[in-house]
Amino acid sequence: MSGDVLTLFDLDHTLVQHDSEQHWVEFLVAERLLDAGEVMVKSHALTERYNRGEAGAIEFSEFYLGLMAPHDPTRLEALRDRWIRERVRPCIVPAALRLVEQHRAAGHRVVVSTAVFRFLAEAEVAEFGIADLIATEAERIDDRFTGAVAGVTNSREGKVERLHAWLADNGERLDRFREVHVYADSMNDVPLLSHATHPVAVNADPALAATARHSGWPILTVA
Per-residue pLDDT tens listing for the chain (223 residues) = 457 999 999 999 999 999 999 999 999 999 999 988 889 889 889 988 988 889 998 999 999 999 999 999 999 999 999 999 999 999 999 999 999 999 999 999 999 999 999 999 999 999 999 999 999 999 999 999 999 999 999 999 999 999 999 999 999 999 999 999 999 999 999 999 999 999 999 999 999 999 999 999 999 999 9
Assess whether 81 carries a catalytic annotation: no
DSSP label at 16? Answer: B
Give the torsion through C-alpha atoms of 184, 60, 52, 9, to 10 deg.
Answer: 0
Q: What pLDDT score was predicted for residue 53?
A: 84
H or E segment and range at residue 193: helix 190-193
Task: Find the catalytic residue in 10, 19, 185, 189.
Answer: 10
Task: Find the catalytic residue in 12, 19, 185, 189.
Answer: 12
Maximum C-alpha span of the chain: 50
CATH number at residue 16: 3.40.50.1000
Q: What pLDDT score was predicted for residue 151?
A: 96
Assess whether 35 carries a catalytic annotation: no
Q: How many domains does the chain have?
A: 1
Q: What pLDDT score was predicted for residue 3?
A: 75
User: What count of Cα atoms within 13 Å lies in the side-chain half-sphere of residue 40?
Assistant: 12
Its domain, for residue 54, covers: 5-220
Contacts of 31 (CB under 8 A, 6+ apart): 79
